[in-house]
A and B are shown apart, each in its own frame.
Chain A
Amino acid sequence: MLKIRKRDEPWKWGALVVFLGALLFSLLVSSLLLAWQGKDALFGLNVLWQGSFGNLWALEGVLLKSIPLFLCSLGVAVAFRMQIWNIGAEGQFALGAIGATWMALQFPDLPGFILLPIMFTMAFLLGGAWAFIPAFLKLKLRVNEIISTLMLNYVAILLLDYLVFGIWKDPASHGFPMTPEFTSGAVIPFIGSSRVHWGLLFCLVVGVGLWGFMRFTRLGFELQASGEGARVARYAKIRYGRLVILVMCMSGGFAGWAGCVETSAILNRLQPSLMVGYGYTAIVVAWLARLEPLNIAFAAFLLAALRVGVENMQLELQIPAAFGVIMEGMILLTVLAGQFFLTYKLERKTRQD
Chain B
Amino acid sequence: MWEFLIPLFAATVQSGTPILYATLGEMMTEKGGVLNLGVEGIMSVAALAAFWVSYTTGSPWLGFLAGGTAGMVFASLHGFVCITCLGNQVVSGLALTILGGGLTHYLGVSYVGLSAPGFNPFIFPLLSQIPVLGEVFFKHDMLVYISFVIPFLFWFFFKRTSLGLHVAATGEMPAAAAAAGLKPLLLRYFAVLSGGFLMGLGGAYLSLAYTHLWTSGLSGGRGWIAVALVIFAFWRPGRAVVGAYLFGGVMAFQLRLQAIGTNLPSSLLLMLPYLLTILVLILSAWRGRRIDAPAALGTNIEPEG
Q: B-contacting residues of A (Cβ < 8 Å)?
A: 3-6, 33, 85, 87, 137, 141-144, 146-148, 150-152, 154-155, 158-159, 161-162, 165-166, 280, 283-284, 287, 319-330, 332-333, 336-340, 343-344
Contacts and interface: CB of A to CB of B under 8 A. Distances in A.
8 contacts: A6-B305, A144-B228, A144-B281, A147-B278, A155-B275, A284-B98, A329-B100, A337-B84
Contacts of A319: 106
B86 interface: yes
B96 A144 contact: no
B91 A287 contact: yes
A8 to B, nearest CB: 12
Q: Name which of A158, A323, A324 has the most chain B CB atoms within 10 A of its CB.
A: A158
Contacts of A320: 105-106, 109
B257 to A, nearest CB: 15
B267 A144 contact: no
Q: Name which of B92, B267, B285 has the most chain A CB atoms within 10 A of its CB.
A: B267
B305 A143 contact: no
A38 to B, nearest CB: 12
Interface string B272-305: 0011011001100110001000000000000101
Contact of A162 (B88, B105, B267): B267
A333 B282 contact: no
B86 A340 contact: yes
A10 B221 CA distance: 40
Nearest to B220: A154
B80 interface: yes
Contacts of A148: 278, 281
Report the 7 A-B pairs with minimum CB-CB distance, sorted nearest first: A329-B99, A325-B102, A322-B105, A336-B87, A326-B102, A329-B98, A332-B95
B75 to A, nearest CB: 13
Interface string B218-246: 00010010011001000000000000000
B1 interface: no
Nearest to B109: A320
A142 B285 CA distance: 6
Interface residues of B, number: 48
B200 interface: no
B48 to A, nearest CB: 12
Contact of B305 (A3, A147, A336): A3
Nearest to B227: A147
B105 A325 contact: yes
Nearest to A163: B267
Contacts of B282: 137, 141, 143
Given A87-B94, A336-B95, A337-B85, A143 B278 contact: yes
Contact of A336 (B91, B103, B270, B290): B91
Contacts of A325: 98-99, 101-102, 105-106
Contacts of A280: 94, 98
B224 A142 contact: no
Contacts of B77: 333
B305 A340 contact: no
B125 interface: no
Interface in B43-87: 77, 80-81, 84-87
Given A144-B231, A151-B277, A333-B77, A339 B268 contact: no
B10 to A, nearest CB: 26
B199 interface: no
Given A87-B94, A319-B106, A344-B303, A158 B268 contact: yes
B81 A323 contact: no
Contacts of A322: 101-106, 109
